Amino acid sequence: MSISVLMVEDDSDLSEEIASFLTSAGFTVSSAATIREAETLLAGSYDLLILDINLPDGDGLAFCREARRYIRAGIVMCTGRGERELRIASLRDGADAYLVKPVDPEELEATLLSVHRRLNSSVSSMPLQAMPHPWHLDLERRLLVAPNGISMILNGPESMLLGALFRSADRTARKEDLMALLASEDEGYSLHRLEALVSRLRAKAATRCGLKLPLVSNYGKGYAFIEHGRLV
């Protein structure tokens, strides 16, 4: 049986080169140039995911962290960035292997086979899961739409807070930066008011949407939106 691969790479020439090599080696390869395209394709199931980090519409590492919660496919990071801290973070956050470009196609093939072999040696009966629908934030209409399709209207500070998080590549923001942003509309915005705003927003989402808002404290330094969110 052919091993199915989803490759997320925005360099079209490199994507075609790798896809051609892997196809000739017996893999079934699909390609995506953005995280949004990858989300759509992951509605199906794949054995392996090849993922770049710097993508046009987001951070591949953050996407790896999110995808690992919902899919059992092997994830191989393939990126031009070789920093030690980034390699460690990738492997801790869900990647099964990390390769630095330019990558030898045969090394990539061998890595894919190795990851696939390891996964199949401990495969469970749990079926592969598709990526869930993301949270959607419409800043123009001040509208937050939950994954279950239920929406809620945001006030100005709520919209500014979530907008700052959704614009961030890793969906995090420092408390100092959030207070400065909110103070631009309401002078003297305090830490107490920021924390109260977050608390009310969580309660509002639970009441209006019936879901827990994935807005959490980021080790006392700020806040993080820990599920996938998309600006529309």
Domain assignment of residue 196, given as a range:
135-231
Report the distance separating Cα 33 and Cα 9, nearest Å. 5
| pLDDT tier for residue 130 given thresholds of 50, 70 and 90 | low
Say whether pLDDT at 39 is over 90: no
DSSP per residue, 59-85: EHHHHHHHHHTT--SEEEEEES---HH
- Our separate counts of H helices and E strands in the chain read 8, 14
Q: Which of 121, 155, 176 is the last residue of a domain?
A: 121
Segment 193-207, tens digit of pLDDT: 999 999 999 999 999
Mean pLDDT, the chain, as a whole number? 88
Mean pLDDT of 121-130: 52
Instruction: Find residue 99's DSSP bridge partners.
Output: 78
Number of domains in the chain: 2
In a shared domain, residues 106 and 148 = no
Closest CA to 182 of 208, 143, 155: 155
In a shared domain, residues 64 and 108 = yes
pLDDT at residue 52 in the model: 94
Closest CA to 224 of 182, 161, 180: 161
In a shared domain, residues 13 and 88 = yes
In a domain, 171, yes or no: yes
Say whether pLDDT at 167 is over 60: yes
